[in-house]
Structure 1
Amino acid sequence: MSAEFGAVVLGTPDPPALAAFYRALLGWETVGEEAADWVRLRDPARERPGLSFQLEPAFAPPAWPARPGAPRMLLHLDLLVDDLGAEVDRAVRLGATVEAHQPQDGVRVLRDPHGHVFCLFLPGW
């Protein structure tokens, strides 16, 4: 069997709380039992890839944009939307914050409630 992409895992001091944010944002569902140290979400239409959350009590949000001496971002999520303004507003209502630095049109950089950077973007970006 060749390797197949299965999931992205985000570290967080509160996996159930961060999973609740992304469950509401993406419309995904929890797989199995939620635990204090691990939660896995998936699209209701397919099993994989998924998005999981693991307990990392010492998690430190990355700097955006990157700067010397600050925690570095290893990855970010890109989420495709059809109405950028409406989806930014909805993400903010769910607990996200909009970053001051916005590098391009058609994309908005936000942070989830625990400080992970993610982007909402329109098709073609």
Structure 2
Amino acid sequence: MALNLVGWNVVLDSNDADMLSAFYEKLLGWSRFPGKEFTVLANVEQRGFPTWITFQQVDNYEPPVWPTTLDEQQQMEHLDFHVKDVEEAVKFAMSCGATMSEIQCEDGWRVMIDPAGHPFCLLPPPPWIKEA
């Protein structure tokens, strides 16, 4: 048995949920739905199950440290975005306000940091994804 999904969602904490959602709105081109304590960014054009990210306002938010450092706030998740051209995606992400991490794990993809300190990765598509 499996869940009868109608969509999936990731929640990111931030001390400025509006600012962080605006960054990802520019990066992804998705629709933004502001709220008082959280803002939702949704891919409303997606066929099938929708995808969205919720940005939750947390006033005592501490950004994660990447890579992991003892006695520092640990990352609890990160986002992966599969793109056709990693280097072009890096340039675009930086124009939106991201920074590139000083530490990179592999040559084929890039670790980026969003304005609230969350790491995210820009990677080529996995081989099992067929281009439409």
Q: TM-score, normalised by structure 1?
A: 0.90
**CA positional deviation for 1:124:** 3.1
Q: Which residue of 2 aligns with 1:43?
A: 43
Q: Which residue of 1 aligns with 2:13?
A: 11
Per-residue Cα deviation, 1:26-71 (whole angstroms, up to 9, x for no partner): 110024xx12421111113236221010101111111111121111
Asked if the contact 1:15/1:55 (under 8 Å) is kept, the reply is yes
Q: Which residue of 2 aligns with 1:78?
A: 80
For 1:65 and 1:23, how far apart are their aligned partners in 2? Answer: 26
- Superposed, which structure 2 residues align to 1:59-78 within 5 Å? 59-78=61-80
For 1:15 and 1:43, how far apart are their aligned partners in 2? Answer: 18
**CA positional deviation for 1:3:** 5.1
Q: What is the total number of aligned residue pairs between the two structures? A: 123
Letter in 2 for 1:87: A
Q: Which residue of 2 aligns with 1:2?
A: 3
Give the alignment partner of residue 103 of structure 2, picking from 93, 97, 101: 101
Q: Percent identity?
A: 34
Per the alignment, do residues 59 and 42 of structure 1 end up closer, same or farther by CA in structure 2, a change over 3 Å counting? Answer: same
Asked if the contact 2:32/2:42 (under 8 Å) is kept, the reply is yes
Unaligned runs of 5+ in 2: 128-132
2:74 matched to 1:54?
A: no
For 1:66 and 1:3, how far apart are their aligned partners in 2? Answer: 35
For 2:65 and 2:13, how far apart are their aligned partners in 1? Answer: 16
Per the alignment, do residues 73 and 3 of structure 1 end up closer, same or farther by CA in structure 2, a change over 3 Å counting? Answer: farther
For 1:102 and 1:119, how far apart are their aligned partners in 2? Answer: 10
Unaligned runs of 5+ in 1: none
Q: TM-score, normalised by structure 2?
A: 0.85
Q: Which residue of 2 aligns with 1:91?
A: 93
